Every structure is written in structure tokens, then in C-alpha cells.
């Protein structure tokens, strides 16, 4: 009687699995005595089954804690600084952004001049809300109040979109009035 090779492999696979299951589920109390042990030759049987690796599981990002939002619009949620907070020559901006390719810009002005400006990257791009944090450092302002303007640049024409303006106050000790 002729056995086809694929049938042989299926049968061999079933036998190997049965032996493995029996070995894994055997009761230790039924171990053979030393005189009862048998010599068993182990045979490796190749299988033609495809290797299957587990697919990665996507875990949804946690819902943002909007209870700490001090200002927001459709693209930005600001956690700090709060509007009208007093800032020194260095302060941190924390929040979340939902912007194209995670990129946005900021400008910090005192009404007379731009004190600081730059580009920032959030942790991820739209449509997700992604965390960001950056530090603003600047020289002495000439006015007691200023504005932090956070915005996205339009991919179409470079225009500022989704602007969010946060009014801030300067520590009186650092103000240097214009001459």
C-alpha cells in the first residue's frame, strides 16, 4: 500500500501532537519505576504548516483628560500656562494638538516685538490628539502683558490657521520699557 507524503506528514503531526499532549498532561504520580523505563528514540518530523506569528494588537490611546484644559480650539488643548498667568523669562507650554503631520508653530509677543518663536512637533499627527511640551525662553519684554500665539501653518498656502492666543502677564521685575 502506498502512502502519499502529505498524508504521512499529517499522520506524523497528529502522533507528535498526541505524544506532546499526553506528556504535558500526564500525572506525576504515575511515573514508571526505574525498572519500568523504556528507551525511546526521539524522531524529528518536519511539518509543512506555515509559521504563524501573532498579529500586533492595537491599543486605543487613552481618552484625554480634558478637566485640565485651560484653553482650547479645534486643533489645540492647552494645559499650561493658564490665561493671564504671570511668566518669567522661561516658561513651559503643555497641551495636546490635533494637527497635520504633528507640526505647529508658536510666536510669543509683547505688543511691540516678537520675543520668541519656533516650531513644535506633537507626539502624533491628526486625527488623534497628541501630547506636546516645549519651553519658551525670551529676553526682557517692553510691556506688562504679552500673548502666546499657537497656530498651524496651512499646507496649501502657508497661512496661519487654527490660531489660539493665550494672554499672559510678565513679572514686573523683568519689564524693560521702550526708550
- In tens, the pLDDT along 80-101 reads 999 999 999 999 999 999 999 9
pLDDT of 21: 47
pLDDT of 150: 98
Contacts of 165 (CB under 8 A, 6+ apart): 147, 148, 149
CATH of domain 69-174: 2.60.40.10
76 against 39, higher pLDDT: 76
How far is it, in rounded angstroms, from Cα 128 to Cα 98?
Answer: 6
C-alpha cell at 98: 490635533
Give me Rg for the CA atoms of the chain: 33
Model pTM score = 0.62
Q: Which of 21-30, 75-84, 126-135, 157-166 has the lowest mean pLDDT?
A: 21-30
The pLDDT of 56-74, averaged and rounded, is 68
pLDDT at 114 over 50: yes
Q: Check residue 84 and give left, alpha or beta (phi > 0: left; psi -120 to 50: alpha).
A: left
For the chain, the domains span: 69-174
Q: Kindly report the CA angle at 77 between 74 and 83, in degrees rounded to 5? A: 115
Contacts of 110 (CB under 8 A, 6+ apart): 141, 142, 143, 145, 146, 170
**Average pLDDT value for the chain:** 78
Amino acid at each position: 500500500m502506498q502512502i502519499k507524503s502529505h498524508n504521512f506528514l499529517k499522520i506524523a503531526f497528529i502522533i507528535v501532537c498526541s505524544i506532546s499532549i499526553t506528556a504535558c498532561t500526564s500525572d506525576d504520580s504515575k511515573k514508571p519505576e526505574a525498572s519500568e523505563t523504556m528507551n525511546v528514540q526521539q524522531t524529528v518530523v518536519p511539518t509543512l504548516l506555515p509559521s504563524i506569528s501573532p498579529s500586533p494588537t492595537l491599543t486605543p490611546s487613552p481618552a484625554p483628560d480634558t478637566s485640565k484644559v485651560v484653553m482650547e480650539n479645534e486643533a489645540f488643548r492647552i494645559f499650561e500656562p493658564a490665561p493671564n498667568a504671570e511668566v518669567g523669562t522661561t516658561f513651559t507650554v503643555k497641551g495636546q494638538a490635533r494637527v497635520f503631520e504633528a507640526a505647529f508653530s508658536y510666536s510669543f509677543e509683547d505688543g511691540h516685538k516678537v520675543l520668541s518663536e519656533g516650531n513644535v512637533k506633537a507626539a502624533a499627527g491628526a486625527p488623534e490628539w497628541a501630547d506636546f511640551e516645549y519651553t519658551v525662553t525670551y529676553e526682557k519684554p517692553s510691556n506688562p502683558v504679552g500673548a502666546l500665539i499657537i497656530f498651524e501653518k496651512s499646507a496649501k498656502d502657508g497661512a496661519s490657521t487654527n490660531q489660539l492666543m493665550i494672554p499672559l502677564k510678565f513679572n514686573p521685575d523683568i519689564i524693560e520699557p521702550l526708550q
